[in-house]
């Protein structure tokens, strides 16, 4: 059974720092990996989706990488801002052919201090 | 604007009562999903549907029921059989673009927080 782990559970950094959030998964047979942002009491917003054939995706100050063989993904946030404060979740989609299989990590709660 | 609307935002359930959470999308998405989120945990799949009048159980379907009579709507009923219903419930949808599997991202509503009275 696929398991997704995100460490650390919480992270606090001063504004302007570059930071890396980590995601690891136990089964490397994935279809894609998504990074989401969740603000308190809200739903999830998709940030980046990396297909299994890709190594990374970029959107603005965000860069996500994928290493399937080692079961790891990182989300790099450049020049962090207080508005980046949120919980970041990663989710992997199994390659079994089912449309349902997204397995989520429990998230990293990020606080960017002004 | 296109999106997913969940209602109500907050819901309270009495002992022995069934309650229904609404999820409507105007994104013309094929697949819809219901997740449950408990504090400090990731999302767990309750039910999903890829097509009208068809749906499948997820990992934690016991005590829940769904219907998919219209493409736009996927209501979730939390029955009295669900003994620990207090959680944040999230509805999501995605376009399959004619394929069973898809590299399209899932889009989420803003959730319904359910509590027991």
Give the pLDDT confidence of B6-64 residue by residue, as tens digits. Answer: 999 999 988 889 999 999 999 999 999 999 999 878 899 999 999 999 999 999 999 99
Q: Does B65 touch chain A (CB under 8 A)?
A: no
Give the pLDDT confidence of A23-75 residue by residue, as tens digits. Answer: 999 999 898 999 999 999 899 999 999 999 999 999 999 999 999 999 999 99
Distance CA A103, CA B36 (A): 12
Backbone phi, psi, residue A84, to 5°: -80, -10
Minimum Cα–Cα distance from B32: chain A residue: A100
Minimum Cα–Cα distance from A32: chain B residue: B103
Give the pLDDT confidence of B72-105 residue by residue, as tens digits. Answer: 999 999 998 888 999 999 999 998 776 555 678 8
Q: Give the model's pLDDT for residue B117.
A: 82
The answer to whether B4 and B93 have CB atoms below 8 angstroms apart is: yes
Say whether A97 and B113 touch across the interface (CB within 8 A): no
In this prediction, residue A97 has a pLDDT band, given cuts at 50, 70 and 90, of: low
Q: Give the model's pLDDT for residue B39.
A: 87
- Say if strands A108-113 and B10-13 run parallel, antiparallel, or are unpaired: unpaired
The answer to whether B105 and A49 have CB atoms below 8 angstroms apart is: yes
Residues of A in contact with B102 (CB under 8 A): 99
Q: At B75, which helix (H) or strand (E)?
A: none
Say whether A99 and B50 touch across the interface (CB within 8 A): yes
In this prediction, residue A76 has a pLDDT band, given cuts at 50, 70 and 90, of: very high
């Amino acid at each position: 059974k696929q398991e997704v782990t995100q460490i650390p559970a919480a992270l606090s950094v001063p504004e302007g720092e570059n930071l890396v959030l980590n995601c690891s998964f136990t089964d490397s047979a994935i279809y894609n990996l998504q990074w989401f942002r969740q603000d308190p009491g809200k739903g999830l917003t998709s940030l980046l989706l990396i297909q299994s054939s890709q190594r990374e995706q970029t959107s603005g100050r965000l860069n996500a990488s994928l290493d399937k063989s080692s079961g790891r993904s990182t989300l790099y946030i450049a020049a962090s801002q207080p508005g980046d404060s949120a919980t970041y979740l990663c989710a992997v989609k199994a390659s079994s052919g089912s449309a349902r299989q997204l397995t989520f990590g429990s998230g990293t709660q990020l606080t960017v201090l002004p | 604007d296109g999106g997913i609307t969940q209602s109500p935002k907050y819901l309270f359930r009495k002992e022995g009562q069934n309650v229904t959470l609404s999820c409507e999308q105007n994104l013309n998405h094929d697949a819809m999903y219901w997740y449950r989120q408990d504090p400090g945990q990731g999302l767990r799949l309750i039910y999903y549907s890829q097509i009208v009048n068809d749906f499948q159980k997820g990992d934690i379907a016991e005590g829940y029921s769904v219907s998919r009579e219209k493409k736009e709507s996927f209501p979730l009923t939390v029955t009295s059989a669900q003994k620990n219903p207090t959680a944040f419930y999230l509805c999501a949808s995605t376009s399959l673009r004619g394929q069973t599997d898809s590299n399209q991202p899932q889009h989420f509503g803003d959730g319904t927080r359910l509590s027991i009275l």
